[in-house]
A and B are shown apart, each in its own frame.
Chain A
Amino acid sequence: MISTLGHMLILSALVASVFGSVTGLVSGARQNPKGTLWTQRAVYVFAWSMFLANFLMVYALLERDFSVSYVAQVGSHTTPTWVTVVSLWSSLEGSILFWGAIIGFYALIFTLKMRGRYAEYVPYALGVILFVCAFFSVLLAAPANPFAPTQGPIPLDGPGPNPLLQNHILMVIHPPMLYLGYVGMTIPFAIAVAALLRGKLTAGWLKPLRIWTMIPWACLTIGIVLGGWWAYEVLGWGGYWAWDPVENASFLPWLAATGYLHSTVVQERKRMLKVWTLSLVLAAFLLTILGTFMTRSGVFNSVHSFTQSPIGPIFLGFLAFLVVVCVVLLSLRSHLLVDEGKFEVVVSRESAFLLNNILFVVFTFTVLLGTIFPLVNEAIRGEQISVGEPYFDKMAVPIGMMLVFLMGVGPVLPWGRPDPSTVLKRFVFPFSVGLLTCSVCYGMGLRGWMTLATFGLCGFATVVTIWEMFSPTLERMQRRGESFSTALRLSILGGRRRFGGYIVHLGVIAIVVSIGASRSYRKTIEASLTPGQSFQLEEYTFVYEKTTMTKEPNRTSVRAAFNVYKEDSEVGVMVPGLNYYRTQREPIGTPHVKTVDGTDVYLSVLSVEPDGSRVGVKAFVFPLVFLLWWSLPIISLGSVIALWPKRRRTSSAEVIPA
């Protein structure tokens, strides 16, 4: 019953998306409002079919209806309710179904927001969105049908989802956030393709492009950081980023989209870099499809890979088709998107932006190359290799440092043709703070010139960013005699995108500082202990007390209790553990992390005797990791401010005395 109903919903989504994509593109070409109306209706049908199909799958999972193949694959009577619900995206077919719901959601909101506006572009954009929807519906209708009936006898119980997904509550937020980021890139892609199909890019159409890129960009950023947090809290190897192919797959579109968010500023201000900007938007979307291909094709060896599946070649075909469409469109239309401004001097705000863009593109290629190099090597030489941290760190660290440097330089440089002596004067204070930061860190006993330079650059960029955030406020206070709070409020309202952008910069600086400190100054030790024994790491002492075992329906957990002291004062009890799942060969750890005076004390169990008579543990001390997680609210706040609707701005602008 559920199988049939679910399959019907998928088919209805397929029909709606195919129909809507045709009417959208045709009515875009003919500029026919009636066709646009039908395209909008197709979006509604697609979105609601997908929502209902997802609800139906969650219902089947909760009911443990093992006659549905996907439920038989990931369902289990023993898993808690929250795990059962997140099983929706824990495996290949379900994750594509969930993808369908998210694209439906985006398409629905986009359609509603754009109703009656941008009539010359919207039907094209809707047609493109529905074309992408149609592709995913085809996958769901046949090769990755989650509603397929179970073959053979219906099992009484299933294995449950991958144990790694059952181990931490972050699994509820990390994948949906990442999906919101990935899937959301479809909208800016459609907007960009619409501009290419129309053969013009007006300032008006740039605005939705920017807003609809910022939304998935923010979600992707949060999703990536949450993924790092999850790895840190669950995997127990004491890291948050490993340059795993699939981590890279999420980082690639982020890099392209971040490049776009910067180049669009130049485009709006100077009407330059049009083709380049559109190419970055197209690239960001194509990279999300590449990322999806990576996890679902079985081509990459990664913890994130789903099982081998026949959809790999279909995905690659789709990606190839999209690339061809983008390249042909760009080559046919590039002459229409002529730059109106030009670069005047080498040292100016626009050239800083250009350099920033080049760095983002180089970064993207570097990561892409490292990710696919093992495949190239295997194809040519037939041997398996892996490209790991040494390569990526060597490449990413200098590029990252240059980007932080530009983060400080860019805002200080004026647009156009700046006067060199004024520019130099503006740099004196931030540079001094950067140097001071370096010296203070050195004085505190920190070593390693790369790390010290990174901290110095971060100090420099922070001063510039904070100055740029508050200089309009100070100017208002001086010129108009407003109080600080009024001036601040009105300057934020008057330039919320700029202000939000700088807050995001502060979040990124927090991430860079955290990565620099935690990677350069981490300390680690392994120990094997019997109850009552202790070991020391830096100024921390860990005393092993005892082990407790709890049996839960879906797993057996062993927790080892340690009393932890910092010099003579007690830090508290830490209880890292191991969880044993029936379906998983290796136990999955639950490390315990305590933040003491800005430093993370991280304890992870490696092995444990069943009776607790001996335990093997690994302890780490990581400085400043907490900054990485704090960047989340900072970046979210910045994005929300930057995205806040403009209507209020007009009303507040009216109250500003002339």
Chain B
Amino acid sequence: MNWKIILISVILFGPLFWALAAGFGNDPHAVPFVLEGKKAQDFQLTSLDGKVVRLSDFRGKPVVINFWSTWCEPCKAEHDVLQHFSKTYGTTVQFLGIVYQDQAEAARAYLKNRLNLFPQLQDPNTRVGLDYGVSGVPESFFIDAKGRIRHKQAGVVTPQILVDWLRTLLTEVSSGEGQ
């Protein structure tokens, strides 16, 4: 038995395996999101139909903010899902759309013949997009009744994600945690 080889191997491979094993459970596609758990920056924006909307108006109930644009194919794919959920959850959850780096005209034309149940806001110079650290569209933010950002969904939001998060946020409201 050549103990030299064994010793060198333990020194070499021990830390390697330890480091590799330590990495389990990471999501390889996760992008670090520093705003999680932080208070959502308030904003005041004008909707496509000219109304002024403030985020703080909805304090006390969960808010879902969806950044989208007409040049984004996946945004179109999730449009109906968001509308459907907005209809299902009614007044218990507030849905807001923010048109991201797009012309208001194009957004209006796009929405004209589609179901459109919640306010769609214009974001001049992408100020709110920058505040929320939007890196692309679609991106959806789940904000709890206390006004804290709880989750950012980068990419298409699926019915399962919506169900899971809205259930969590609404349970907190009913149990008083989120108030």
The answer to whether B26 and A332 touch across the interface, beta carbons within 8 angstroms, is no
A583 touches which of B2, B28, B30, B74 (Cβ 8 Å): B74
B49-91 Cβ-contact flags toward A at 8 Å (1 or 0)? 0000000000000000000001111100100000000000000
Chain A residues closer than 8 Å to B22, beta-carbon distance: 375-376, 378-379
Give B135 Cβ to nearest chain A Cβ, in Å. 9
Chain B residues closer than 8 Å to A581, beta-carbon distance: 73
The answer to whether B106 and A312 touch across the interface, beta carbons within 8 angstroms, is no
Counting chain B residues whose Cβ lies within 8 A of the other chain, the interface size class is 35 or more
Given A298-B28, A335-B2, A583-B74; A372-B19 close (CB under 8 Å): yes
Given A330-B5, A580-B73, A585-B154; A308-B23 close (CB under 8 Å): no
Chain B residues closer than 8 Å to A297, beta-carbon distance: 20, 23-24
Given A301-B29, A308-B28; A610-B2 close (CB under 8 Å): no
A533 within 8 A of B: no
A554-590 Cβ-contact flags toward B at 8 Å (1 or 0)? 0010000000000000000000000011111111000
Chain B residues closer than 8 Å to A319, beta-carbon distance: 17
Give B33 Cβ to nearest chain A Cβ, in Å. 12
In the complex, the number of residue pairs spanning A and B with C-beta atoms less than 8 Å apart equals 101
Nearest to A298 among chain B residues (CB) is: B28
Task: Report the Cα distance A587→B16, complex, angstroms.
Answer: 37
The answer to whether B74 and A327 touch across the interface, beta carbons within 8 angstroms, is no
Nearest to B71 among chain A residues (CB) is: A610
B138-163 Cβ-contact flags toward A at 8 Å (1 or 0)? 10000000000000001110000000
Task: Report the Cα distance A368→B106, complex, angstroms.
Answer: 50
In the complex, chain A residues 318-361 whose Cβ is within 8 Å of any chain B Cβ: 319-320, 323, 327-328, 330-332, 334-335
Task: Report the Cα distance A4→B164, complex, angstroms.
Answer: 34
A301 touches which of B13, B16, B26, B73 (Cβ 8 Å): B26
B156 touches which of A308, A320, A378, A583 (Cβ 8 Å): A583
The answer to whether A305 and B2 touch across the interface, beta carbons within 8 angstroms, is no
Give A370 Cβ to nearest chain B Cβ, in Å. 13
Chain A residues closer than 8 Å to B176, beta-carbon distance: none
The answer to whether A378 and B23 touch across the interface, beta carbons within 8 angstroms, is yes
Chain A residues closer than 8 Å to B1, beta-carbon distance: 331-332
Nearest to A246 among chain B residues (CB) is: B28
In the complex, chain B residues 17-53 whose Cβ is within 8 Å of any chain A Cβ: 17-30, 32
The answer to whether A331 and B29 touch across the interface, beta carbons within 8 angstroms, is no
Nearest to B17 among chain A residues (CB) is: A320
Given A585-B74, A585-B137; A299-B24 close (CB under 8 Å): yes
Chain A residues closer than 8 Å to B27, beta-carbon distance: 298, 308
Given A305-B28, A334-B2, A582-B77; A610-B23 close (CB under 8 Å): no
Nearest to A293 among chain B residues (CB) is: B20
A584 touches which of B13, B19, B21, B74 (Cβ 8 Å): B74
Nearest to B7 among chain A residues (CB) is: A331
Nearest to A610 among chain B residues (CB) is: B71
A313 within 8 A of B: yes
Task: Report the Cα distance A372→B24, complex, angstroms.
Answer: 13
The answer to whether B9 and A327 touch across the interface, beta carbons within 8 angstroms, is yes
A495-519 Cβ-contact flags toward B at 8 Å (1 or 0)? 0000000000000000000000000
The answer to whether A299 and B26 touch across the interface, beta carbons within 8 angstroms, is yes
In the complex, chain B residues 114-154 whose Cβ is within 8 Å of any chain A Cβ: 136-138, 154
Chain B residues closer than 8 Å to A582, beta-carbon distance: 73-74, 77
Task: Report the Cα distance A372→B23, complex, angstroms.
Answer: 10
Task: Report the Cα distance A378→B30, complex, angstroms.
Answer: 14
Give A528 Cβ to nearest chain B Cβ, in Å. 13
A327 touches which of B5, B25, B136 (Cβ 8 Å): B5
Given A372-B19, A582-B73, A585-B154; A331-B5 close (CB under 8 Å): yes
A114-128 Cβ-contact flags toward B at 8 Å (1 or 0)? 000000000000000
Task: Report the Cα distance A328→B2, complex, angstroms.
Answer: 9
The answer to whether B20 and A384 touch across the interface, beta carbons within 8 angstroms, is no
Chain A residues closer than 8 Å to B20, beta-carbon distance: 293, 297, 299, 316, 372, 375
Given A305-B28, A323-B9, A327-B9; A375-B77 close (CB under 8 Å): no
The answer to whether B29 and A305 touch across the interface, beta carbons within 8 angstroms, is yes
Task: Report the Cα distance A617→B30, complex, angstroms.
Answer: 28
Chain A residues closer than 8 Å to B5, beta-carbon distance: 327, 330-331, 334
Nearest to A383 among chain B residues (CB) is: B32
Chain A residues closer than 8 Å to B15, beta-carbon distance: 376
A331 touches which of B6, B16, B23, B155 (Cβ 8 Å): B6
Chain A residues closer than 8 Å to B25, beta-carbon distance: 298
Nearest to B32 among chain A residues (CB) is: A384
Chain A residues closer than 8 Å to B30, beta-carbon distance: 301
Give A464 Cβ to nearest chain B Cβ, in Å. 35
Nearest to A579 among chain B residues (CB) is: B73
The answer to whether A298 and B17 touch across the interface, beta carbons within 8 angstroms, is no
Nearest to B23 among chain A residues (CB) is: A299
Chain B residues closer than 8 Å to A298, beta-carbon distance: 24-28
The answer to whether A585 and B3 touch across the interface, beta carbons within 8 angstroms, is no
A363-379 Cβ-contact flags toward B at 8 Å (1 or 0)? 00000100010011011
Nearest to B77 among chain A residues (CB) is: A582
Give B58 Cβ to nearest chain A Cβ, in Å. 26
The answer to whether A300 and B28 touch across the interface, beta carbons within 8 angstroms, is yes
24 contacts between A and B (CB under 8 A): A293-B20, A298-B26, A299-B26, A308-B26, A308-B27, A313-B21, A313-B24, A316-B20, A320-B17, A323-B17, A331-B6, A334-B2, A334-B5, A372-B16, A376-B15, A379-B19, A379-B22, A582-B74, A585-B72, A585-B138, A585-B155, A586-B136, A610-B70, A610-B106
Q: Which residues of B contact A (CB under 8 A)?
A: 1-6, 9, 13, 15-30, 32, 70-74, 77, 106, 136-138, 154-156
Q: A372-B19, A610-B106 are in contact. List 19 more A-B contacts (CB 8 A).
A: A298-B28, A299-B28, A312-B24, A316-B17, A316-B20, A320-B17, A327-B9, A330-B5, A332-B2, A372-B16, A376-B19, A378-B22, A379-B19, A581-B73, A582-B77, A585-B72, A587-B73, A609-B71, A610-B71
Across the A-B interface, give the 3 residue pairs with the lowest CB-CB distance, nearest first.
A299-B23, A379-B22, A305-B28
Q: Which residues of A contact B (CB under 8 A)?
A: 293, 297-302, 305, 307-308, 312-313, 316, 319-320, 323, 327-328, 330-332, 334-335, 368, 372, 375-376, 378-379, 384, 556, 580-587, 609-610
